[in-house]
Every structure is written in C-alpha cells, then in structure tokens.
C-alpha cells in the first residue's frame, strides 16, 4: 500500500458477511469477502472511506436502490454493489449480472454528477493499487 495514513477496521466474520449478502441479495466476490475476513474496512487518503465497513455497504446500497428521488435522477443501481468512495461523491462498485451473481470482480467508478459508470480496475487488488496511488 502506498498511503501512510491507511487505517484498517477490525476484521468481519462469516456470519456478518453472510447477513449482508442476504440483505443485498448478492454473494460478495471472493476478493472482497477475503478482504473483509482480514479487515472490516479501510480509511485512507485523509479520512476517505476507501472500502466501507459492511454495515455501510448494506445501508448505502439500500439507500441507492430504494431512494425514490434517485430513480428520477439516475439509471438503476440494482446491478451495482457499492463498496467505497473517493471522498468527493464518486463511488466504487462491482457489477451484479442479470442473474443476480457477480461473475467478474471488475470495479467500476460511478460519477455522481454525470451518472457515468466507467471501468476502473480488474479486481480489488488493482483497485487498491490504483486508488491508493492516486492519493499520494
């Protein structure tokens, strides 16, 4: 990791992860699941939540999916599993396919001002490398 102010939250357990997956109706990709078993979240880049705690993943994804005004402003969010942000309003997510599963661990950036959704990284490891290098 490049960011010297990185702070990891205490690890999550299988039960907490499984409960979040049930609420959001999606299995976390293996690299995200592994991350949470090692650390329960990551704060870096002067307090930015690079990877949210599981409770925040649940709450924020439900907010994105359930907020009526968002349906009028943005394309649907049901096919995205948001897990972190850049501190300026843009969020990072993994795509959920039409069958309800994550088939590829690619990470996408959602730009809140334009509703653009663009590819960012080929998985969590590359996401962390790129995200934390940008913070330097």
Q: Which CATH superfamily is domain 7-135 in?
A: SMI1/KNR4-like (3.40.1580.10)
Which is nearest to 135 in space by CA: 35, 48, 41?
Answer: 48
Tell me which H or E stretch contains 5.
Answer: none
pLDDT tens digits for range 76-100: 999 999 999 999 999 999 999 989 8
Encoded tokens for 87: 């501190």
What residues form DSSP beta bridges with 82?
A: 93
pLDDT tens digits for range 7-62: 999 999 999 999 999 999 999 999 999 999 999 999 997 889 999 999 999 999 99
Residue 48, SS3?
strand
Q: How far apart are CA 44 and CA 75, in angstroms?
A: 29
Residue 7, SS3?
strand
Residue 106, SS3?
coil
- What are the boundaries of each domain within the chain? 7-135
Q: How far apart are CA 109 and CA 93, in angstroms?
A: 6
């Amino acid at each position: 990791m490049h960011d010297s102010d990185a702070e990891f939250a205490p690890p999550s357990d299988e039960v907490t992860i499984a409960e979040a997956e049930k609420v959001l109706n999606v299995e976390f990709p293996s690299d995200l699941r592994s991350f949470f078993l090692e650390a329960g979240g990551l704060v870096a880049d002067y307090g930015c939540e690079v990877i949210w705690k599981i409770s925040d993943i649940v709450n924020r994804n439900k907010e994105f999916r359930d907020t009526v005004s968002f349906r009028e402003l943005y394309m649907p969010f049901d096919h995205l599993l948001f897990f972190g942000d850049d501190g300026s309003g843009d969020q990072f997510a993994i795509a959920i396919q039409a069958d309800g599963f994550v088939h590829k661990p690619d990470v996408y950036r959602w730009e809140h001002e334009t509703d653009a959704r663009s590819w960012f990284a080929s998985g969590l490891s590359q996401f962390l490398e790129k995200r934390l290098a940008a913070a330097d």
